[in-house]
Amino acid sequence: ILPLLFLALAAQAFDPYYTAFHAQPLKNWCNDPNGPMFINGTYHLFFQYNPDGYVWGDMHWYHMKSKDLLHWDHLPVALAPDKDYDCGGIFSGSATIVEGSPVLTYSVQCGESIAIAVPKDPNDPDLKEWVKPDSNPVIHRPNTTQNFRDPTEAWRGEEDGLYRMIVNCDEGTCLFKSENFVNWTYTGIMWPTDAGFQECPDFYKLPGTETYVYKGSIQGQEWWLVGEYKEVPGLNALDKFVNTSADVLFNNQRYDMGTFYASKRFFDPVKNRQVLFAWVNYHCNDTDWAGVQSFPRIVLPNPAKDNSIITYPI
């Protein structure tokens, strides 16, 4: 860890454009935030990373940690495309706390499956090393879709205790259920849409409400809608989600109007809030890096408008 600290200090000292409060790699390309989480007193953030240069390619997961979401420490790269099923690169995904331990879920460049990774040493406070279990890949692409990637954080049913996870497909949100986070059953399209394939979906409940938010990344913009979610117990049963706001692509229902894409949020138990990050595609001439993670934001109900949300910097 110490060599990474020295490199970070050097980057800030010799590069006037290197940021102070935005998570970013020491150099090279980064894009989508992946797997933000809080565990054992520390915030963790992963994101898409090219170790070979400051243009897109050869996707890995970079890893950083923080105590306050403002000051970030660099950790070793968490995930590399070192298995046959990684088929081209480690694409976007999420983190879920399963029985007290984090599990990373990720998609792959060829779009054929979803895989998982777990800490090599769950007692390591920095979670520096991750391993891919022999059970991988844990989900295969349904034959009804060609596009298939970007799993959400999983959640557990209040009635049946089953894990649930969304992966976006051509016709909407493909819902999967599992008893053990290894064997997953495809239940169908929970929220169908004709808006086209949407990257980096998110699905979450606003704390203190019964309102659920769905977000899809479409053509460089972060579109959201709010609605009502109903759990339908059973491994093969399809849960229900009905939007109560306008659909995506309508009413300017976007997190941001600027360069802000592929967002990923997580629940922060410290302050009982939903916090999100997004990718800011940004490059300065004569620098060896491109892209930063946005300043973290809180997602809240909009007090001035029903069926609407707002975001604020933390």
Q: Where are the beta strands (DSSP E) in 170-294?
A: 172-178, 184-192, 199-205, 212-218, 221-230, 240-243, 261-268, 273-280, 289-290, 292-293
pLDDT at 194: 87
pLDDT, tens digit, 9 for 90 and up, residues 139-180: 999 999 999 999 999 999 999 999 999 999 999 999 999 999
Q: What is the pLDDT of residue 55?
A: 97
- State the virtual CA torsion across 193, 195, 201, 206 in degrees, nearest 10: -70
Q: What pLDDT shows up at residue 4? A: 63
pLDDT at 11: 64
Spell out, as residue ranges, where the chain has pLDDT lower than 50.
Answer: 6
pLDDT of residue 226: 97
What residues does 219 pair with on adjacent strands? Answer: none
pLDDT of residue 2: 52
State the pLDDT at residue 10. Answer: 58
pTM: 0.95
Q: Which pLDDT score, from 0 to 100, does residue 14 have?
A: 79
Query: How many CB atoms lie under 10 A from the CB of residue 179?
Result: 13
CA 73 and chain centroid, separation? 19
Q: How far is CA 65 from the centre of its chain?
A: 15
Helix (H, G, I), strand (E, B) or coil at 307: coil
Enzyme catalytic residues: 32
- Average confidence score pLDDT of the chain: 95
Output the pLDDT for position 3.
Answer: 59
Cα-flanking dihedrals φ and ψ of residue 12, to 5°? -70, -30
